[in-house]
C-alpha cells in the first residue's frame, strides 16, 4: 500500500534562494500528490469555516451576556434601588458645582412680590379699649377726650370648632274638626345626607375632601376632630362612605361618556391592596388604573393587571375620532390595546424611557443629550388638578398638562402638534 504522506526532498536539494531574508522552510520543496493536495485544501477550508463560526458564536454569546447583565442590573435596581421614577442623577454628576450656590428665598436687592391679597376673608372687628382708669390723665386726673379715627391692625386667625346644630320645629294643633288635617302640624324635618345620621353635610364634606383630595388616612382625621371636641370612630366614617357611594354612581356613566369624546389621555396603573376576600380571587393584591383626559379623571379598580382592563375602558371610544393619543409607559397591556385600536397612538413618557434605559446600562451619550434637551417640553406632569374624589373613585379635574414623546407604532405629526397644544401652560 502506497503512503499518501507528502514526500520531502532530501536536504542537499534546495530551492534557489531569491531573497536574503528567506526562512529555512522557504528553501525546502515538498512534493504532493493531487489527492493529498485536495485533502489539505479541504481541511484548510473546513477549519477556516469552523474558526469563523466560532467567532460568530463568541460575539453572540458576548451580546447575550451583556443583555443578561443589563437585565440583572435592572432587576437589582427595581428590587433594592430607590423606588422613584427619577434617574439616579448620573446625568448631572459631571456638571460643575458652583462655588457660591444661590441662597433660597428672597434675594437681596430684588423687588419683592408684596403681601398676598386676602380681602376676600370676612373681617371680625374686636375693640380693645382703654380701662376706665386709663381714660384720664395720670397727673391731674382730667378725662381724656375721644379723638377721630382708630389705630387698626389685622391678624389672620383660623378658628375651627365643632358644634351641634339643633333645629327646633314649633308644633301647632288644629282647632277645627276637619278629618283630613292631622292633630299636630310641624315643619318638615331638615334634610340629611344619610337618613337618621347625626352627622351633617359639613362633616361629610370635610371627610370626602380630607380623604380623597388630600389623601389623608381616616384615623388621622379622627385624631384631628378629637382636638375640636368631636369624637368619631373610623367605623362610623367607613360606614358613611359606603352609604354615600350610591349618590355618586349616576355620575360614572356621564363622566365615562364625556371622556370617550376626547383625544388625549394619560394612563397608568399601580398595585392596590384590598383587604377583602373575593370569590375567585387569590390574595389581596388588586390594581388601580387611572385614565386622565382634559376634563375627566377616571379610576378603575380591577383584580388584575391584564390588557382586558384598558381594552374594556376604550371599547366605547367614538369611532369618528382620529389620532387619539394615549401617554403611558411601555407596559405590554397598552401595546396590546394599540394593536386592537387602529386610531390609537401610544406616546411613551420620556421620564420612563430615560429611566429604563439608564438603569439597563445601554443608554448612549447621544441619546442622553437628546433626552436632556427634550425633558424641558416633554416631561410627564399632571398638575393644576383642583380635584374632588368620591368613594367610588371618580375625580373631577379642571386642568392637565401633557407630555409627549415616542410611539411604539407610529408618531404622527398631528399627534405631536396635539401634545404641544396641550403642554404645560
Query: pTM for the whole thing?
Result: 0.53
| Containing structural domain, residue 211 | 198-248
38: left (phi over 0), alpha (psi -120 to 50) or beta: alpha
In a domain, 31, yes or no: yes
The mean pLDDT of 127-145, rounded to a whole number, is: 87
In a domain, 212, yes or no: yes
Decide which of 101 and 120 is more confident: 120
In a domain, 339, yes or no: yes
In a domain, 400, yes or no: yes
Nearest to 325 by CA among 256, 407, 253: 407
Does residue 378 share a domain with residue 295? yes
19 pLDDT band, cuts 50/70/90, is low
Does residue 403 share a domain with residue 369? yes
**pLDDT greater than 80 at residue 135:** yes
Does residue 408 share a domain with residue 277? yes
Q: What is the DSSP string of 29-83?
A: -EE--HHHHHHHHHHHHHHHHHHHHHHHHHHHHHHHHHHHHHHHHHHHHHHHS-S
Q: What is the DSSP string of 99-114?
A: SSPPPSSSPTTSPP--
Does residue 279 share a domain with residue 223? no
How many CB atoms are closer than 10 A to CB 88? Answer: 14
Does residue 375 share a domain with residue 275? yes
**pLDDT greater than 80 at residue 27:** no
**pLDDT greater than 90 at residue 240:** yes
pLDDT of residue 259: 94
Q: How many domains does the chain have?
A: 3
**pLDDT greater than 60 at residue 210:** yes
pLDDT of residue 84: 55
Nearest to 345 by CA among 354, 335, 355: 335
Q: What percent of the chain has pLDDT over 90?
A: 37
209 pLDDT band, cuts 50/70/90, is very high
Does residue 327 share a domain with residue 216? no
The mean pLDDT of 205-233, rounded to a whole number, is: 92
Decide which of 151 and 373 is more confident: 151
Does residue 260 share a domain with residue 236? no
Does residue 234 share a domain with residue 211? yes
Mean per-residue pLDDT over the chain, rounded: 77
In a domain, 173, yes or no: no
Does residue 271 share a domain with residue 374? yes
**pLDDT greater than 60 at residue 12:** no
Helix (H), strand (E) counts: the chain: 10, 11
Question: Which of the residue ranges 284-298, 346-360, 380-394 would you say has the lowest mean pLDDT?
Answer: 380-394
In a domain, 413, yes or no: yes
At 46-91, the pLDDT tens digits run 999 999 999 999 999 999 999 999 999 988 888 887 765 554 444 5
In a domain, 168, yes or no: no
In a domain, 36, yes or no: yes
**pLDDT greater than 70 at residue 402:** no
115 pLDDT band, cuts 50/70/90, is confident
Does residue 390 share a domain with residue 282? yes
Does residue 338 share a domain with residue 239? no
Does residue 370 share a domain with residue 266? yes
Amino acid at each position: 500500500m502506497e503512503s499518501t504522506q507528502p514526500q520531502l526532498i532530501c536536504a542537499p536539494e534546495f530551492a534557489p534562494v531569491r531573497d536574503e531574508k528567506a526562512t529555512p522552510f522557504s528553501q525546502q520543496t515538498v512534493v504532493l500528490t493531487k489527492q493529498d493536495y485536495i485533502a489539505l485544501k479541504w481541511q484548510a477550508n473546513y477549519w477556516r469555516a469552523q474558526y469563523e463560526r466560532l467567532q460568530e458564536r463568541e460575539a453572540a454569546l458576548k451580546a447575550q451576556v451583556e443583555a443578561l447583565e443589563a437585565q440583572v442590573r435592572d432587576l437589582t435596581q427595581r428590587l433594592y434601588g430607590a423606588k422613584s421614577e427619577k434617574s439616579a442623577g448620573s446625568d448631572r454628576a459631571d456638571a460643575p458645582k458652583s462655588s457660591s450656590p444661590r441662597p433660597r428665598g428672597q434675594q437681596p436687592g430684588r423687588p419683592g412680590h408684596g403681601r398676598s391679597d386676602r380681602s376676600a376673608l370676612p373681617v371680625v372687628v374686636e375693640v380693645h379699649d382703654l380701662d376706665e382708669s386709663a381714660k384720664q390723665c395720670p397727673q391731674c386726673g382730667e378725662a381724656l377726650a375721644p379723638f377721630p379715627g382708630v389705630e387698626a391692625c389685622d391678624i389672620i386667625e383660623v378658628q375651627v370648632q365643632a358644634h351641634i346644630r339643633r333645629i327646633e320645629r314649633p308644633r301647632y294643633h288644629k282647632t277645627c274638626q276637619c278629618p283630613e288635617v292631622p292633630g299636630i302640624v310641624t315643619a318638615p324635618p331638615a334634610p340629611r345626607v344619610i337618613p337618621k345620621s347625626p352627622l351633617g353635610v359639613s362633616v361629610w364634606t370635610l371627610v370626602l375632601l380630607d380623604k380623597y383630595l388630600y389623601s389623608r388616612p381616616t384615623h388621622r382625621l379622627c385624631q384631628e376632630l378629637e382636638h375640636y371636641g368631636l369624637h368619631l370612630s373610623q367605623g362610623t366614617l367607613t360606614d358613611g362612605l359606603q352609604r354615600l357611594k350610591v349618590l355618586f354612581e349616576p355620575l360614572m356613566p356621564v363622566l365615562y361618556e364625556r371622556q370617550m369624546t376626547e383625544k388625549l389621555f394619560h394612563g397608568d396603573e399601580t398595585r392596590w391592596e384590598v383587604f377583602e376576600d373575593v370569590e375567585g380571587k387569590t390574595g389581596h393584591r388588586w390594581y388601580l388604573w387611572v385614565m386622565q383626559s382634559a376634563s375627566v379623571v377616571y379610576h378603575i379598580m380591577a383584580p388584575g393587571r391584564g390588557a382586558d382592563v384598558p381594552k374594556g375602558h376604550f371599547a366605547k371610544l367614538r369611532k369618528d375620532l382620529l389620532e387619539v393619543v394615549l401617554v403611558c409607559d411601555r407596559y405590554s397591556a397598552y401595546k396590546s390595546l394599540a394593536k386592537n385600536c387602529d386610531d390609537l397612538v401610544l406616546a411613551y413618557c420620556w421620564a420612563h424611557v430615560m429611566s429604563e434605559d439608564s438603569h439597563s446600562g445601554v443608554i448612549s451619550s447621544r441619546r442622553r443629550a437628546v433626552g436632556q434637551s427634550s425633558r424641558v417640553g416633554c416631561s410627564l406632569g399632571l398638575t393644576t388638578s383642583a380635584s374632588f374624589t368620591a368613594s367610588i373613585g371618580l375625580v373631577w379635574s379642571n386642568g392637565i398638562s401633557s407630555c409627549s414623546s415616542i410611539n411604539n407604532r407610529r408618531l404622527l405629526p398631528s399627534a405631536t402638534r396635539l401634545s404641544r397644544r396641550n403642554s404645560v401652560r
